């Protein structure tokens, strides 16, 4: 493995560790805004994967870009579904009107 590969592996492991530490320390009150931010980041990766799939970089790059589009789109849609469910927990149930049963 080259020096560049070792540095990239080191950065990847360090980023994973720091990300885990940051996410586990988020208070429950901030989970919904955090999900909205991660949905925005997933949208950015979706645009990047579309560019990779549509570029003239060869067949392998096109198929890897296509797989990236599917993965990013699944992440975006799932994130919005989860965020919608989380926001639904904060809605108050309607009280029945007086005089009606």
Task: For 31-70, write each residue's pLDDT tens digit.
Answer: 667 777 777 788 888 888 888 888 888 888 889 889 989 9
Question: Helix (H, G, I), strand (E, B), or coil: what is residue 84?
Answer: helix
Q: What is residue 38's predicted lDDT score, i.e. its pLDDT?
A: 76
Exposed (0-12), middle (13-18) or buried (19+): which is 28, by Cβ within 10 Å? exposed
Would 99 be classed as within a structural domain?
Answer: no
Domain annotation covers residue 94: no
Residue range(s) defining the domain that contains residue 51 = 3-88
Q: What integer is the mean pLDDT of 11-34?
A: 81
**Cα separation of 28 and 46, whole Å?**
27
Q: Is residue 96 part of a domain?
A: no
Q: Looking at residue 70, what is its pLDDT?
A: 92
In the numeric block, the tokens 């799932």 are attached to 78
How many domains, the chain? 1
Any domain includes 100: no
Paired tokens of 62:
């096109």
Nearest to 44 by CA among 17, 61, 21, 68: 68
Portion of the chain with pLDDT greater than 90, in percent: 7
Per-residue confidence (pLDDT) for residue 99, from 0 to 100: 64
CB-based contact 42:76 (threshold 8 Å): yes
Note the pLDDT of residue 26.
77
Mean pLDDT value across residues 8-16: 90
Rg for the chain, CA atoms, rounded: 21
């Amino acid at each position: 493995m080259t020096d560049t590969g070792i540095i990239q592996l080191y950065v990847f492991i360090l980023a994973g560790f720091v990300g885990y530490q940051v996410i586990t320390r988020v208070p429950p009150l901030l989970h919904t805004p955090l999900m909205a931010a991660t949905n925005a980041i997933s949208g950015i990766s979706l645009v990047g994967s579309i560019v990779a799939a549509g570029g003239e970089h060869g067949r392998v790059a096109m198929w890897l870009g296509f797989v990236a589009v599917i993965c990013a789109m699944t992440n975006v849609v799932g994130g919005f579904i989860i965020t919608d469910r989380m926001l639904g927990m904060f809605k108050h149930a309607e009280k029945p009107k007086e005089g009606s049963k």
